[in-house]
Structure 1
Amino acid sequence: MESLTKASMSVCPFVKSTSTQALRQMSQTSGALARQARHCPIVGGAVRAKAKEIRRSYSSATKPARATASTTIAPKAMKFIPPQFNANDDSGAFDYNGYLNHELHKKRQDKSYRFFNNINRLAEEFPKAHRAHEHDKVTVWCSNDYLGMGKNENTLKEMKRVLDKYGSGAGGTRNIAGHNAHAIKLESELAALHKHEAALVFSSCFVANDAVLSLLGQKIKDLVIFSDELNHASMIQGIRNSRAAKEIFKHNNLQDLESKLAKYPKSTPKLIAFESVYSMCGSISPIEAICDLAEKYGALTFLDEVHAVGMYGPHGAGVAEHLDFEAHLKSGIKNPEHLTTVMSRVDMVTGTLGKAYGVVGGYVTGKTNMIDWFRSYAPGFIFTTSLPPAIMAGCSASIRYQRSTLKDRIGQQKNTRYVKNNLTELGIPVISNPSHIVPVLVGNAADAKRASDLLLEKHNIYVQAINFPTVPIGQERLRITPTPGHGEQLSNQLIEAVDSVFNQLGLNRINDWRKQGGLLGVGVDDAPKIEHIWTDKQLSLTDADLNPNVVDPEINPLDVSSGVNA
C-alpha cells in the first residue's frame, strides 16, 4: 500500500488539487485519508482487496476464537477483536461463536463462572432438601424462603383449592383475560399491609422495579434519580431504561446524598431510590432520614423492601413499619392515630411475594393515582401475563397468616443471633450488620467456591458462594440465611462445618483480616458496634400481644385494581 501511494502522488488528481496542509490535517484525523482513498479508481481497489484479505484471514483462523472455552487455552490466544464491517463488503459473517466462547472463557478465568446446584427443597422437611437423588439429603442454609412459608399449611391448602377450581394458568394479561377476584384481593391485602391507598401486582419484583423506575424517568420530564450505590440490579436496570439523569450516592451516606440533591433547584423533579435491607451485606438504610431529605429537596421516595417484607414490623410490612413498631403493634391493621408514620411518608414501596412469603410475584404500593398511572402506562405490567389465580390466592393467604403471628419472625431473628455470635467467637469473619443476613467474608472467588463445594460434599450443607457481579471482586463471601426452622441442633452443625472448612482451606479469619488492615468492618478495631434492629423487648413478644383486629380481617377491594371510574 505504501509503494502504491507514493506512485500515485505524481498522477493523482486529488493529491494534485489538495494543499499540503490539508493533506497533513487529513493524515492526523483517524480514517480520513482512508475514506477518501476508497473513492479512488486506482487506490480504492487496493484498499478493498486488503480489507477483504484481513477479514478472510480472521474468519478462517477459527482455532483461537471458536474453540470451546477451557483452562487449556491461553488468555492471549482467546483475545477477541470484533471486525469492522463495510456495508459493501461481502466477506464472512460476524464470528458469533467466537465471541460467545470468549466471553464465557473470561468468566471461567476470573472464577466468576457460576455453577447451579441441583437442590430440591422438601416441603415437609424444609430446611432439608435432596440433590439429584432423593436419598442424598442436605440442609439448605442460603434460601430466601426466609420464614419457611413455602411449606405453610394455610398457604398450600388455599393454593390447592384455587388450583382445582380455576386451573393452572391465568389466561393472559390483566387487560385481556388475566384479571380476576384473586388479583383484586391480593392487591387489597398488599395495600392494607403497607397502609397505603393502593397496590399493583407484577410477575416479579425485578419486573416491578424495572417497570416503575423506567416509566417514571421516561414520562416525567427532567427527572433526576438518586440511587444508592448498592441498589439491586433490578433498580439499576430500571434507572438505565428510564433514560433519566442519575446521581449515585455512597451507600447509606446521608451527607453524600444531600450534597447531590442540593445541586438541583427544588423545582427539578427528583426521585430517591433505595432499599431497606441490602441482601448481600445485611445493612439497613436510614429510611426516616432519607424521607426528611426528600421533603427538604422536593423528591419522591422509592423504597425496595424485598428483603424485609414478612420479617420486620409487628405485621411483616418491612423495616418502614418496624421503625414505628409500638404504634403499629397497638393499632393493628388500622393506621396509628395522631402519628405520621415512616411507612406513610414513603411514596412507593416495592416488595416480593417470592421470599419471606414463600410463593412468587412482585408488587408496588402507593397513592391511588400513582398506582393507577402505573397500571395504565407501564409496559412491564400491561404486556405481561398475569400470575395464575392459585399463585395469587397463595400469596394472599401467606400475607394474612404472617400478619396475625409473630413467632416466625422472632424465631428467625433468634436463630440469626445464635449463628452470628458463635461464628464470631470462633474468629469466622462475619460482616457485622443489624439484619437477618449472615455474610461470611472469604475474599476471592476461587476460595469462596471451594468453601461452598466442601460444605456441600463433606458436610451436606448447602451455602452458595457469592461472587462478582453480585459483590465487588475481592469481597466474595458465603451468604447464610437462618430461618425459624434452623434451630440449635442444625445451627451447631453449620458452625462446626464452617469452622472445619476455614481450617482445611486456610481461609482468613478475623485476626488475619486485622493484619491486612481490615475489610468491610471485619478486623477493624474501632468499628462501631452494630445492634440488631429487633430489640430484646420485641423478641419477647407473643401472638397475644397483637391487636385482635389483625386476625382474619375484612379488607375492602380496591377500585384501582380494575380501573377507577371518573
Structure 2
Amino acid sequence: MYDRLFCEKLDEIRSAGQYRTFVTLNRVCGQYPLAHIDGENRKVTVWCSNDYLGMSQNPIVRRAMHDAIDKYGAGSGGSRNIGGTHKLYAELESLLAKWHAKEASLVFPTGFSSNDATLQCLLRLIPDCVALSDEKNHASIINGIRASNVRRHVFRHNDVHHLKELLDQYPRNHPKIIIFESIYSMDGDVAPAVDIIRLAKQYNALTFLDEVHAVVGMYGPRGAGIAADLQLCEEIDIVQGTMAKAIGIIGGYIAASHSLIDTIRSFAPGFIFTTSLPPAIVAGCIASIDYLMKHSEERDQLHRQTRTLRQALLSKRIPVLPCSSTHVLPVMIGDASKCKRAAARLLGTHGIYLQPINYPSVAIGSERFRVNATPVHTDVHIADLAQSLSEVFEHFDIPLLDAEKANHNHELS
C-alpha cells in the first residue's frame, strides 16, 4: 500500500516534468569552473554553482582547513552545549558580528537551519506574534513560519504598499516581525529594504533580513551585504546569512543583539539539539571571511564578468528575467519538459552544466536556468555559453527575445 502511494506520487512529478535527478560532478581543485562528469573522461563548465567567488578553491582557505584537521581532528565531538564548542567558534562568531556591525552572532550547521530554527523560536516565544513574509521568501523561511503555527501574512513580492495594508490591521504595540530577503535567488532582484525598514519602524515591527545571496562577500563594503551597502546594518534587527555560497564552505548564522542571540542559543531546539560544525569547517570559514573582508578583487571581477555575460546573452537574444539586476541571471524557458531536455543537451552536446529549475522552486510556467558568472569564468567561457544556449534554444524551439526588444535592451545596457 505504501509503496504504491510513493510510486504514484513519483509518477505524478515525472509526468509533469518536475522529477529531479542528480548529476554527479567531481570538481577539479584549482581548475574551477571545470568539473568531471562522474564515470566520463571529459570536463564540463559549471555555470550554476553557489561557489560564487571560487573561495572553496582558495589556497589560504584550504590550508587553514588542513591545519585545523591536523590540530583538532575531523569532527567536533557533539552539540555546542555538549563538547562541540571548540575555540574557533568564538573567533568565527566574533568575526561575523563585526562584519554586520552587530553585538553578537550564532553559527548553525546550515543556512536552512539558521532560518528555520531562529524563526520557529522567535515566533513561539513572542506572545501572539504575527509573521509578515514576502511571497518569494526561501523554503527555509516558509518552513520556520509554518512550524510555529502563528498568524501569518504573505505580502506580494517587494510590494511595500501591500505590506502596509497588512500592518494596518494591527495596533502599533502588537508584536510582529517582517521577514524578507535582500536578493532573491531565483529572480535576481533586490528588495526595497529602505522602505520596508521605514514601515517596520513606523509599525514597531522586528525586521529579519536573509542576506544569503548578497552577504557572501559580493556586495557592500568589505562584502558585508546589501544592508551594509545601504548603510542599514543598525536598522535591521536580525541578519541571517550562509557560509555555503561565496564563502565557499558550509554553515549558516544569524547576527543581532546580545539578548536576541542568547535567546536563540538558549531556546531554539534546532540549535540546541544538533551537532556543531567540525573545526576544519569553522577554520575554513574564518579564513575565507577574513580574506573577503580585506580583498575586493574577486567581487569586482564577478561584477565585471556578470556585465559581460548579460551582454553576451542579449546579443544572442537569450531571454533573461527583466527584474534581475544582480549576479543571478534567470534564463527563462517556460516549460518544465523543455527545460530538462535543454539542460541534457547543454551537458551532452556542449559540455555545459546548468541545472533545470522547475516547480516547486519556481512557479509552473516560469521554468528557467539560474545562471551566474564567477571571477574565474573567462570571456571565452562566456562566449561559449551564449553560443551554446542559442543552439539549444533553436533546437527545442524555445522563444527568444524579439530583435527589436533585444536591440532596445542593448541600448539601455
Category of TM-score, reference length = shorter chain: over 0.9
1:280 pairs with one of 182, 186, 205: 186
Secondary structure of 1:247's aligned partner: strand
1:317 pairs with one of 216, 224, 233: 224
Partner of 2:365: 474
Q: Which amino acid aligns with 2:390?
A: D
Q: Which amino acid aligns with 1:218?
A: R
Q: Which amino acid aligns with 1:405?
A: H
Secondary structure of 2:89's aligned partner: helix
1:407 pairs with one of 294, 297, 310: 297
Equivalence map 1:290-305=2 (5 Å):
290-305=196-211
Give 1:148 shift: 0.4
Partners of 1:490 and 1:129 in 2: CA distance: 14
Give 1:289 shift: 1.1
Secondary structure of 1:176's aligned partner: coil
Q: Which amino acid aligns with 1:442?
A: I
1:190 paired with 2:80, answer: no
Where structure 2 has 5 or more consecutive residues not aligned to the other structure, the ranges are: none
Q: Which amino acid aligns with 2:295?
A: T
Instruction: Note the alpha carbon deviations across 1:306-326, whole angstroms, 9 max, x for none.
Output: 011111012111111122xxx
**Higher RCO (CA-CA < 8 Å; seq separation 6+):** 2
Residues 366, 169 of structure 1: CA spacing in aligned structure 2 closer, same or farther, 3 A cutoff? same
Partners of 2:406 and 2:139 in 1: CA distance: 29
**Any conservation in 1 of the 2:315–2:406 contact (CA below 8 Å)?**
no
TM-score normalized by structure 1?
0.71
Structure (1 or 2) with the greater strand fraction: 2
Residues 212, 171 of structure 1: CA spacing in aligned structure 2 closer, same or farther, 3 A cutoff? same
Instruction: Note the alpha carbon deviations across 1:427-465, whole angstroms, 9 max, x for none.
Output: 111112111001100001000011111110000000111
Partners of 2:259 and 2:289 in 1: CA distance: 24
Q: Which amino acid aligns with 2:389?
A: V
**Any conservation in 1 of the 2:197–2:235 contact (CA below 8 Å)?**
yes
Q: Which amino acid aligns with 1:413?
A: H
Count of aligned pairs: 410
Instruction: Note the alpha carbon deviations across 1:118-137, whole angstroms, 9 max, x for none.
Output: 11111110000001136321
Partners of 2:148 and 2:111 in 1: CA distance: 17
Partners of 1:211 and 1:342 in 2: CA distance: 24
Q: Which amino acid aligns with 1:322?
A: D
2:343 pairs with one of 452, 457, 462: 452
Partner of 2:334: 443
Partners of 2:412 and 2:26 in 1: CA distance: 35
Partners of 1:196 and 1:134 in 2: CA distance: 48
Partner of 1:361: 251
Partners of 2:27 and 2:142 in 1: CA distance: 31
Where structure 1 has 5 or more consecutive residues not aligned to the other structure, the ranges are: 1-94, 324-340, 515-522, 532-566
Runs of 4+ residues deviating >4 angstroms: 523-527
**Any conservation in 2 of the 1:247–1:260 contact (CA below 8 Å)?**
yes
Secondary structure of 2:222's aligned partner: coil
Give 1:530 shift: 9.0
**Any conservation in 1 of the 2:316–2:387 contact (CA below 8 Å)?**
no
Give 1:145 shift: 0.2
Partners of 1:359 and 1:272 in 2: CA distance: 29
Instruction: Note the alpha carbon deviations across 1:485-539, whole angstroms, 9 max, x for none.
Output: 0111111111111111111111111239x9xxxxxxxx79999x998xxxxxxxx
**Any conservation in 1 of the 2:200–2:206 contact (CA below 8 Å)?**
yes
1:484 paired with 2:390, answer: no
**Any conservation in 1 of the 2:241–2:254 contact (CA below 8 Å)?**
yes
Secondary structure of 1:175's aligned partner: coil
Partner of 1:499: 390
Partners of 2:40 and 2:67 in 1: CA distance: 28
Equivalence map 1:67-216=2 (5 Å):
95-133=1-39, 135-216=41-122
Partners of 1:276 and 1:144 in 2: CA distance: 16
Partners of 1:314 and 1:154 in 2: CA distance: 22
2:260 pairs with one of 353, 367, 370: 370
Instruction: Note the alpha carbon deviations across 1:336-358, whole angstroms, 9 max, x for none.
Output: xxxxx311100000000010100
Residues 526, 270 of structure 1: CA spacing in aligned structure 2 closer, same or farther, 3 A cutoff? farther
**Any conservation in 2 of the 1:178–1:385 contact (CA below 8 Å)?**
yes
Partners of 1:263 and 1:185 in 2: CA distance: 43
Partners of 2:317 and 2:192 in 1: CA distance: 29
Partner of 1:5: none
Partners of 1:230 and 1:355 in 2: CA distance: 19
Cα RMSD (Å) = 1.7
Partners of 2:101 and 2:242 in 1: CA distance: 16
Instruction: Note the alpha carbon deviations across 1:146-170, whole angstroms, 9 max, x for none.
Output: 0000100111000000111100000
* Identity percentage of aligned residues: 45
Residues 524, 408 of structure 1: CA spacing in aligned structure 2 closer, same or farther, 3 A cutoff? closer
1:379 paired with 2:269, answer: yes
Q: Which amino acid aligns with 2:303?
A: Q
**Any conservation in 1 of the 2:212–2:241 contact (CA below 8 Å)?**
yes
Secondary structure of 1:307's aligned partner: coil
**Any conservation in 2 of the 1:314–1:406 contact (CA below 8 Å)?**
no
**Any conservation in 1 of the 2:182–2:193 contact (CA below 8 Å)?**
yes
Partners of 1:263 and 1:121 in 2: CA distance: 52
**Any conservation in 1 of the 2:314–2:406 contact (CA below 8 Å)?**
no
2:286 pairs with one of 396, 402, 406: 396
Partner of 1:30: none
Partner of 1:518: none
Secondary structure of 1:449's aligned partner: helix
